[in-house]
């Protein structure tokens, strides 16, 4: 029981921490948005200008020419043929054995069985026991 309360305390702490951090971040962002424009730099500082990038790409290299084939090309080799079996394989038997003459009957009734009784479940009390510290004192007019 102590671990569940410890977990709930840790979970609520994490939720509070995340909420507070997101609030502080949103306030910081609002503060940055409300700032005035960037001030002008003093005249003594010169910012160098960067060179403009070239938009054109260098030319692609030329495609080299392949060497031409000199003379006649020999024909491709042929695929050798596989040897054929000389003896014929036996043919499988296609006749099936006969079906049994009598089909067994399926029982239509469920056999009677006696099961052991289920254990009794303890009942949950519906009344809350009174604790003397929390209950009011008896009234003096009960005589």
Structural domain includes residue 26: yes
Tokens standing for residue 104 = 């067994």
Structural domain includes residue 12: yes
Structural domain includes residue 73: no
Amino acid 142: pLDDT: 53
Nearest alpha-carbon partner for 33 in 22, 41, 25: 25
Structural domain includes residue 88: no
109 pLDDT band, cuts 50/70/90, is: confident
How many structural domains is the chain composed of?
Answer: 1
Domain residues for the domain of 8 are 1-35
Tokens standing for residue 99 = 């079906």
Amino acid 1: pLDDT: 54
Structural domain includes residue 99: no
Percent of the residues in the chain that have a pLDDT greater than 90, as a whole number: 1
Q: Which residue has the higher pLDDT, 14 or 129?
A: 14
In angstroms, the Cα distances linking 57 to 54, 62, 64 are 8, 15, 20
Structural domain includes residue 134: no
Structural domain includes residue 5: yes
Put simply, whether the predicted model's pTM sits higher than 0.75 gets the answer no
pLDDT in tens, 34-78: 766 666 766 767 777 888 877 788 888 888 888 777 777 788 889
């Amino acid at each position: 029981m102590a671990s569940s309360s410890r977990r709930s305390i840790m979970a609520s702490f994490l939720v509070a921490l995340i909420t507070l951090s997101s609030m502080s971040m949103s306030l910081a962002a609002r503060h940055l948005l409300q700032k005035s424009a960037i001030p002008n730099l003093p005249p003594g500082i010169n910012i160098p200008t960067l060179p403009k990038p070239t938009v054109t790409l260098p030319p692609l290299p030329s495609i080299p020419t392949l060497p031409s084939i000199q003379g006649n090309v020999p024909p491709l080799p042929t695929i050798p043929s596989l040897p054929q079996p000389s003896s014929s394989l036996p043919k499988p038997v296609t006749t099936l054995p006969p079906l049994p003459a009598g089909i067994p009957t399926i029982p239509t009734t469920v056999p009677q069985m006696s099961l052991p009784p289920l254990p009794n479940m303890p009942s949950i009390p519906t009344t809350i026991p009174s604790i003397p510290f929390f209950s009011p004192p008896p009234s003096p007019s009960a005589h």
